[in-house]
């Protein structure tokens, strides 16, 4: 049992991130017959990551559709279905393959509501994993979420825990706008307590997952998990770290970010992506605009090496940000402010 937002106890189950996504899809398919699934190998093979395991058998080929290897084609078909009243959930095998469908996503899904003057909406969800660390090499290990978070008309979410994955997928399927739903490959086997019942998240709200007073760390998806672990480790050394999990990249909860930084006076942004023109740059600008007078030191950023991700495991590990890199920058921030005083 865990308390909900109102402090009341809620029954929970310990499940993996993978299972939480599966359960959300099944729950929505049971609740709403207009929810359909499309994607490569999601039916007979039950998905490359087994998120759709058992769903073809339960719901049949009309609602769980194996598609050709044509991301542009089946994404476009899903947009048309959404315009006519269906609620399609598309699985693109990795975010890298979404580039084949980027015209459909950016120039159609994101713009149809505005271009048609609100006469038709596109209640479409595109689920897609990304991230490195799996030795899938440069073209299969990218974090391209900043490309999509840049686009008005799209919502982009990136849950870090099984509970958030389920709650945010339920919210995404019920939303009338197109949602890009990001899943980091390294999170699929992570476990967490997930509330039973119809717990639906609010898209566009960040969470303070660890309360602290000395410094704020902002992250999302895998980086939010790393940040929580670092906060726990540093608490053992007497350092109080506050962690803000963005959960949603567009809309972005700027107020929660700035409120935390106004409290702690210092900020570090952690992201899996390259720093240049990245999500971290947007967060740094947000803090500069909304909490500048409260800063004791410049905002610092931690991200991936500015190279195509290597295949070799040793090089891949060096290129990706980790807990040690975050701890090093946090200590540099704390040392700088100690000397300043």
Residues serving a catalytic function are: 71, 140
**Contact indicator for 263, 242 with CB cutoff of 8 Å:** yes
Q: Tokens 């769980």 appear where?
A: 64
Phi and psi at 140, nearest 5°, equal -125, 15
Strands (E), the chain: 2-3, 9-10, 12-16, 35-39, 64-66, 87-91, 125-130, 155-157, 179-184, 191-195, 207-210, 215-219, 241-245, 248-250, 267-274, 300-304
Distance of CA 101 to the CA centre of its chain: 19
**Residues 40 and 90: beta-carbon distance below 8 Å:** no
CA distance 28 to 175: 12
Return the closest-CA partner of residue 39 out of 94, 80, 1: 94
Instruction: Provide the β-strand partners of residue 15.
Output: 192
Pairwise CA distance, residues 80 & 88, whole Å: 10
Euclidean distance between CA atoms 125 and 28, whole angstroms: 12
| 58 three-state secondary structure | helix
Q: H helices then E strands: how many in the chain?
A: 12, 16
Which residue, among 280, 295, 262, 167, has the nearest Cα to 224 in the 3D structure? 280
**Which two three-digit tokens encode residue 291?**
């909490």
Report the Cα–Cα distance between both ends of the chain, in Å, rounded: 45
Cβ partners under 8 Å of residue 129, min gap 6: 49, 93, 94, 95, 182, 183, 184, 185, 188
């Amino acid at each position: 049992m865990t308390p909900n937002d109102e402090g009341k106890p809620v029954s929970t189950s310990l499940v993996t991130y993978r299972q939480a996504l599966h359960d959300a899809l099944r729950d929505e398919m049971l609740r709403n017959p207009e929810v359909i699934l499309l994607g490569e190998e999601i039916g007979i093979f039950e998905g490359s990551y087994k998120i759709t395991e058992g769903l073809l058998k339960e719901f049949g080929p009309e609602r769980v559709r194996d598609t050709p290897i044509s991301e542009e084609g089946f994404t476009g078909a899903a947009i048309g279905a959404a315009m006519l009243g269906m609620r399609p959930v598309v699985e693109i095998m990795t975010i890298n393959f979404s580039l084949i469908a980027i015209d459909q996503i950016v120039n159609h899904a994101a713009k149809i509501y505005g271009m048609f003057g609100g006469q038709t909406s596109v209640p479409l969800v595109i689920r897609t994993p990304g991230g490195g660390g799996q030795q899938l090499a440069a073209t299969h290990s990218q974090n391209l979420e900043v490309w999509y978070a840049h686009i008005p008309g799209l919502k982009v979410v990136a849950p870090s825990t099984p509970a958030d994955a389920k709650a945010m997928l339920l919210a995404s399927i019920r939303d009338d706008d197109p949602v890009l739903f990001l899943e980091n490959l390294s999170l699929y086997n992570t476990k967490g307590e997930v509330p039973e019942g119809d717990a639906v998240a609010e898209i566009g709200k960040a969470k303070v997952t660890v309360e602290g007073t000395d410094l704020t760390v902002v992250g999302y998806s895998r980086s939010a998990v790393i940040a929580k672990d670092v906060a726990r480790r540093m608490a053992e050394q007497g350092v109080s770290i506050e962690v803000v999990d963005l959960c949603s990249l567009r809309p972005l909860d700027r107020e929660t970010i700035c409120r935390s930084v106004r409290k702690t006076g210092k900020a570090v942004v952690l992201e899996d992506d390259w720093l240049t023109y990245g999500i971290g740059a947007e967060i740094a600008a947000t803090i500069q605009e909304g909490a500048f007078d409260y800063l004791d030191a410049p905002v610092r950023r931690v991200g991936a090496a500015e190279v195509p991700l290597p295949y070799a495991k040793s090089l891949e590990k060096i290129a990706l940000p980790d807990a040690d890199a975050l701890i090093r920058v946090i200590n540099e921030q704390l040392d700088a402010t100690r000397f300043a005083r």
